[in-house]
């Protein structure tokens, strides 16, 4: 799980296994839009983007289906950023 608050994402770096689902929880007072880098086009991993902004108090889930290092940000406030490191092994 990754929590978004007025202080940004926590944890800023998350290590998971291939195929694992990450839940992004909005504990801020404003909607946020998690999206992969590069801002503003999100071209590096285009599927890694919420379909719409996540309202305060709600969450969005994304299943990471590519191993690698995936940087992401809040599209509405791109200086808030994080990293998901995905191992090459699939969860059992």
What are the φ/ψ torsions at residue 86 (nearest 5 degrees)? -110, 120
**Average pLDDT over the chain, rounded to whole?**
94
Alpha-carbon span 85 to 79, nearest angstrom: 19
pLDDT 10s digits, 67-78: 999 999 999 999
Instruction: Answer for the pair 64, 20: CB distance below 8 angstroms, yes or no.
Output: yes
Question: Quick one: pLDDT at residue 90?
Answer: 64
Q: What's the CATH class of domain 2-90?
A: mainly beta
What are the angstrom distances between the C-alpha of 31 and each of 71, 76, 86?
20, 8, 26
pTM value? 0.92
Alpha-carbon span 4 to 74, nearest angstrom: 9
| pLDDT surpassing 60 at residue 92 | no
Question: Quick one: pLDDT at residue 86?
Answer: 95
């Amino acid at each position: 799980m990754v929590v978004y608050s007025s202080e940004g994402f926590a944890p800023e770096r998350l290590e998971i296994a291939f195929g694992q689902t990450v839940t992004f929880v909005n504990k801020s007072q404003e909607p946020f839009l998690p999206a992969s880098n590069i801002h503003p086009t999100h071209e590096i991993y285009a599927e890694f983007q919420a379909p719409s902004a996540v309202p305060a108090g709600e969450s969005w889930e994304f299943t990471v289906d590519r191993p690698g290092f995936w940087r992401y940000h809040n599209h509405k406030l791109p200086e808030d950023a994080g990293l998901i490191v995905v191992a090459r092994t699939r969860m059992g």
